[in-house]
């Protein structure tokens, strides 16, 4: 696991994400719909739907929005969405993965390609960068006002079934196997307030974004995240903390 803290990137982009809350709800509704349509409308019997509902609640999505998305999945006239992953490079050669949920493959591919090329990046072929990432569960626990030693946290994390713990002055970062994520999260939630908990793609190695490319790189990521059909964007870029 790279020594770089994913927490820095999360904090650095939090304000930008908050500004897009309405669009985030729209995307979460689509993900909930897809999970319910694929595995059934009961979160207790559909682990993927439970994860999506938890994700929506963490984003403060209204309960009525969640219920509508699940109810829509049981209708015969629902849209036919498919999941697609795009791979490419941003400015400075930074690896980028884009997960999309779309009912029009051509529309989405055209939009994603334009976001890459107009901002100094390039869209690659399938498999060109995905091998640079690992699918992991990620949990963050802020250390502010938390009276617990690193040894105690390590014991709790391992007992919960996690794979790894990384510690900085600000945060405890826990990594899990994807299949163990829900169990680890639920166990830690009983003792701690979780600042972040998600299934994500973790770069095997981070690459520093060149100083003269930071603005262009961030603009490209913003444009990709702003696309209606894009659900998640992951990158291996290490951005300056300021």
Across the range 91-107, mean pLDDT stands at 93
**Does residue 13 surpass a pLDDT of 90?**
no
- With both helix axes pointing from N to C terminus, report the angle between 214-226 and 105-117 in degrees, rounded to the nearest 10: 170
pLDDT in tens, 197-229: 888 999 999 999 999 999 999 999 999 998 988
What's the pLDDT score for residue 14?
A: 55
CA dihedral for 218, 60, 169, 200, sign (positive or negative) = negative
pTM of the model: 0.78
**Of 15-29, 47-61, 187-201, the least confident:** 15-29
221 neighbors 236 (Cβ within 8 angstroms): no
> 162 exposed, middle or buried (CB, 10 Å; 0-12, 13-18, 19+)?
buried
What's the pLDDT score for residue 176?
A: 96
What's the pLDDT score for residue 119?
A: 96
pLDDT in tens, 152-176: 999 999 999 999 999 988 999 999 9
Domains contained in the chain, CATH given: 6-73 (1.10.10.200), 82-131+204-238 (3.30.70.980), 133-203 (3.30.70.980)
**Does residue 1 surpass a pLDDT of 70?**
no
Across the range 49-56, mean pLDDT stands at 89
């Amino acid at each position: 696991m790279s020594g770089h803290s994913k927490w820095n990137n999360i904090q650095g982009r939090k304000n930008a994400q908050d500004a897009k809350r309405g669009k985030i709800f729209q995307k979460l509704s689509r993900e909930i719909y897809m999970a319910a349509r694929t595995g059934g409308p009961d979160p207790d019997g559909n682990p993927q739907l439970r994860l999506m509902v938890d994700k929506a609640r963490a984003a403060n999505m209204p309960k009525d929005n969640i219920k509508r998305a699940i109810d829509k999945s049981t209708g015969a006239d629902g849209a036919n969405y498919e999941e697609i992953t795009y791979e490419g490079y941003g400015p400075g050669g930074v690896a980028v993965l884009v997960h999309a949920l779309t009912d029009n493959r051509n529309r989405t591919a055209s939009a994603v390609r334009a976001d890459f090329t107009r901002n100094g990046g390039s869209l690659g072929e399938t498999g060109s960068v995905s091998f640079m990432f690992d699918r992991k569960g990620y949990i963050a626990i802020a250390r502010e006002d938390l009276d617990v030693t690193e040894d105690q946290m390590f014991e709790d994390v391992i007992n919960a079934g996690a794979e790894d713990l990384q510690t900085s002055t600000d945060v405890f970062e826990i990594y899990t196997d994807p299949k163990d994520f829900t169990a680890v999260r639920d166990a830690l939630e009983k003792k701690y307030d979780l600042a972040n908990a998600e299934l994500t793609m973790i770069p095997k190695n981070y690459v520093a974004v060149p100083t003269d490319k930071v603005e262009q790189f961030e603009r490209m990521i913003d444009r990709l995240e702003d696309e209606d059909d894009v659900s998640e964007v992951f990158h291996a870029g290490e951005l300056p903390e300021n």
